[in-house]
Amino acid sequence: MVVCSWIVVIVVICVVSYIIALLLVDCDLRLAWATKLGKRVDSLAGRVVWITGASSGIGEQIAIALAKGGAKLVLSARRVQELERARRLCSCESGKDLTDRDILVLPMDVTDVDKHDSHFQLVLQHFGKLDILVNNAGRSQRANWEDIELAVDRQMFELNVFAVVALSRIIVRYFQKKKEGHIVVTSSLTGVKAVPFSASYTGAKYALHGYPCLSLQLEKLRSNINVTLLCPGPVFSNFLSESFTDKSGEKFGQGVEPTDRRMKTDRCGYLCAVAIANKLEEAWMAVFPVIPFYYVFVYYPVIRSFFIRLLGPRFFLKMRDSKVRMETMEV
């Protein structure tokens, strides 16, 4: 009887501690543990890391965090001037750890998949190797489901899914010959559980989770090829202004507000770098109360259904965007 009582006490303490921890952290508990007791980012010093979508936002901040840790970088995106700016920031933040040769600016359009191999050859010519590929390039979306043109769905998948798959396949074949390597994909918490008013984006992120990430993880489970899935929530960046809408060729065009409740981009970049250094299979990062909500939604689907019906789609849109932008969406 005494033993049973002690077991109950221990279980209660564990549950309470678990809940308190979720209320205090801005990432999933495994990542939070890694930030305190896991491998440091500087464990990647000397590794060659190729980052797509590195000219702004999360990609740029991942590059800066890795540069501080001494990693050698390949920075890719379409905008050459912004890439050069990112290169200067990385060089400055790294102190004297990186020389100009340690940061390669490689302009590319990731949707031009026929040129992926030639770009990769330039990486090998410059550094002689590649250790980590970070597939970060992508765009979000805001639209009502029934209004979305099919062309938008196709463009979203070309950028957010097929470009990732095409480049990753080239690199995985190289890693197999090298007998080690690390594929990283920037997804979103949207790919963990769907959100309203981003149907094409949600579908693309779900595809990312199942196609080039989880399937690849399972196939390479007993090899030295690691796969990390990064899942940020709302972050301060230019992603919203660049987002797809329901019409082909149109951008959402609205920026984030200083009063929005979002994670700072540099914090997100650092957490992503920690997840990469510790080779985590999946990493979530977002400000309160997003992480607790996602724990409930993933592990307690009945409670999730109750909350969704109780709170409604506008509540979840408000967690992502400001009240003003909500008015453009129909419920």
User: Given the structure tokens 């199942």, which residue do they identify?
Assistant: 210
Instruction: Read off the pTM.
Output: 0.92
pLDDT at 81: 95
Query: Coil, strand or helix: which one is 105?
Result: strand
The rounded Cα 271 to chain-centroid distance in angstroms is 10
Tens of pLDDT, residues 253-276: 777 777 778 899 999 999 999 999
- Fold entry, domain 25-288: Rossmann fold (3.40.50)
Does the annotation count 201 as an active-site position?
yes
Task: For residues 194-206, give the mean pLDDT.
Answer: 92
Round to whole Å and give the CA distance between 26 and 233.
10
Task: Show Cβ contacts of residue 268 under 8 Å, excluding neighbours closer than 6 positions.
Answer: 58, 61, 232, 235, 285
Give me the catalytic one of 18, 174, 201, 294. Answer: 201
Query: Coil, strand or helix: which one is 69?
Result: coil
Q: Give yes or no for a contact between 225 and 183, defined as CB atoms under 8 angstroms apart.
A: yes
Give the model's confidence band at 96: pLDDT under 50 very low, under 70 low, under 90 confident, else very high.
low
pLDDT at 251: 84
